[in-house]
Amino acid sequence: MRDLFYDLVRRNGMPVAIYLMLAVTLWVFILIVLPQLTMFDYSFRLNLPPGKVGGPEDVYTVEQYAYLFQGSGGAGNINTLDLGILFKTLFSAVFVTVFDLLICYPVAFVLAKSSTGAKARLLVLALIVPYWINEILRAFAFRILFGSTGVINEFGMGLGLWDNPVDFIRADVALYAGLAYAYILLMIFPLYNAIESLDRNQIEAARDMGASWWQVHAKVVIPYAKPGIASGMTMVFMLTSGALAAPQILGGPSNLWFTQLVYQWFNSGGNWPRGSAYAMILLFVCIALVLLTMRIFKVSIGEIKR
């Protein structure tokens, strides 16, 4: 921290350095640390009426966490419904993350190595402009697109690919497509930044030595771009697993996202301690999965921050 402060002073001067340090500290503490600590404390409380808060009944307990595993039946029971929703949410988030990676890697490579100057800037602008539209409006656009009378069904039936409208909403196709589209830029730009810094001569040298196009990517580009891949996958996975608007709009009638359970406990259920516990469980599980993935692929936090 001291080295960072001295570096800021050297680059920007003392007043700017002090302002930046204070602004970042307040941002991290007030908007990240303090709310998380408050929610963590709430998660170990009982759901008491306001008049009993702070009284003898207001004690710390793990009841809210136990409910996720046992439900209302107590010890010996398994809350298969909520646990199933949690696992489905995590699996779906992994699927969307991998899907985005497969789509974005070729795009990022073309942007970084095959496009230069005005052409590259035009492609970047074409990627950004659609995101000037509000996320809610984009989600409703996908619902219309994948609806029973939407463009895709009309186009498919017009070509004779299927006779009756396909229920893309109930099959979660619309949800996965909407989530993949919602966070696709968060995958493209870390990949683009990583691949762009790769010396083009390394690619040419590998090709001159007889490496196939697949071998060039497998042996040269992908290992070099691992920090960018890890960064993009982390952001897409965390935001997908914590999404609420898209599952609410694009999810089928029998499909629930774990964040919807959190929302229900906070609002319609009126049980803030249980909602806090569910939110903390989702946070801890997601962080654990991200750290495990980083360990498997041998990527450190220091590499990602670059």
E strand or H helix at 139: helix 135-146
The residue behind tokens 């890890």 is 230
Architecture of domain 80-305: Orthogonal Bundle (1.10)
Distance of CA 109 to the CA centre of its chain: 22
Is there a contact between 178 and 139 (Cβ–Cβ < 8 Å)? yes
The residue behind tokens 């071998």 is 215
Neighbours of 189 (CB within 10 A): 20
199 DSSP assignment: -
Phi, psi of 183 (to 5 degrees): -120, 20
For 126-177, what is each residue's pLDDT tens digit?
888 888 888 888 899 999 999 888 889 999 998 888 888 998 988 889 999 9
Q: Is 9 exposed, middle or buried (0-12, 13-18, 19+ CB in 10 A)?
A: middle
More confident residue, 78 or 263: 263
Six token digits for residue 117 = 């100057």
Q: How far apart are CA 170 and CA 251, in angstroms?
A: 7
Q: How far apart are CA 250 and CA 142, in angstroms?
A: 8
- Confidence at 278, pLDDT banded by 50, 70, 90: very high
Percent of the chain with pLDDT over 70: 92
Answer yes or no: is pLDDT of 279 > 80: yes
Give the pLDDT score at 83.
93
Residue 43, amino acid? S
Give the pLDDT score at 87.
95
Answer yes or no: is pLDDT of 238 > 90: yes
Please list, in sequence order, all residues whose beta carbon lies within 8 angstroms of the beta carbon of residue 219, skipping any fewer than 6 positions away: 206, 211
The pTM assigned to this predicted structure is: 0.87
Give the pLDDT score at 73.
66
For 243-256, what is each residue's pLDDT tens digit?
998 999 998 767 88
Among 137, 161, 148, smallest CA distance to 249 is for 137
What's the residue count for the chain? Answer: 306
For 127-138, what is each residue's pLDDT tens digit?
888 888 888 888
Give the pLDDT score at 113.
76
Neighbours of 84 (CB within 10 A): 12
The whole-number average pLDDT for the span 250-267 is: 87
Six token digits for residue 235 = 């952001």
- Confidence at 306, pLDDT banded by 50, 70, 90: low
Is there a contact between 283 and 258 (Cβ–Cβ < 8 Å)? no
Give the pLDDT score at 288.
93
Give the pLDDT score at 2.
64
